[in-house]
Homo-oligomer: A and B are copies of this chain.
């Protein structure tokens, strides 16, 4: 806890050597011959200060390179203008893109972003949330449904506005800005059924604490049932990686050769499946149709290009920022508002009619 001595200094004999790194209101006040109160007002309520005094203060401040101390302001105002985000990872383009838009929107309103990354399991959200809040976050963006009642309680107790993204969850206690995972997957599956597919399989990322994957799996089961397709649906749960998509496809090929279409719950899994299909000499979509989820940039570039579901990543980021900014504004303390955003089924070359029965 030792320092070079010039920064922290309690008592009266502070800063004897080098000039302090950052000038404060007192320095500006001295230089412009007014009180610190006036300096503060010149910045925060300029209309209330006489023109010449204001100019003098501003000039002095700029000469000195003065900028208000954020910690002091935060302490005094009980307002940090910091918003936190908890995302599974930045190594997934859709999250990165959402966050990019989120932070840009925050910056536009003079807010800072605190970022935490956790894995994909939303049951481990309390700790990072607490960290963020204790360090000053006044509101929180989270990806996916909050399952932990402890977290909900913690946030409610401190009146921290939260917005859940990715999944739009109607009627949930916590407002969500996202899309309907169930409907989006059903649309895709409906399209495959209409093409004539009867033997479908799903490759999903872990559903543990991941409501988005859960919803897609449920949609799959229900859509098949609704279509009168009997038998245990083929569903393989893997971790979220290209290689896992590949090995899952290999397993389906070996153990469920009747399958003609594979619904992957992320483009990453689909890419892996696609590569493995080629390796095995399967024609896509001739022998097997493959679909993805999210419409990452590379989805349009594979061979064949991937049929997938485009997801409003940027818009979720912007809307979440605005909802949180709003909920955090002084006076307006009634919680952020959710919003359901549309997805889009993007049909490309990786899907087609099922092969003739062999």
Contact = CB atoms under 8 A, between A and B. Distances in A.
Interface stretch (A112-120, A258-266, A348-356): A112-120
A316 to B, nearest CB: 14
A69 interface: yes
Contact of A114 (B67, B114, B275): B114
A104 interface: yes
Interface in A229-285: 242, 271, 275
A77 interface: yes
Nearest to A76: B8
Q: How many copies does the complex hold?
A: 2
Contacts of A112: 114, 135
Nearest to A10: B76
A1 B93 contact: no
Given A78-B7, A330-B3, A91 B93 contact: yes
A115 B117 contact: no
A78 B89 CA distance: 31
Contacts of A226: none
A93 B92 CA distance: 8
Interface in A96-152: 96-97, 99-100, 103-104, 107, 112-117, 130-131, 134-136
Interface of A: 1-4, 7-8, 21-22, 65, 67-72, 74-75, 77-78, 80, 89-91, 93, 96-97, 99-100, 103-104, 107, 112-117, 130-131, 134-136, 157-159, 242, 271, 275, 297-298, 301-303, 330-331, 333
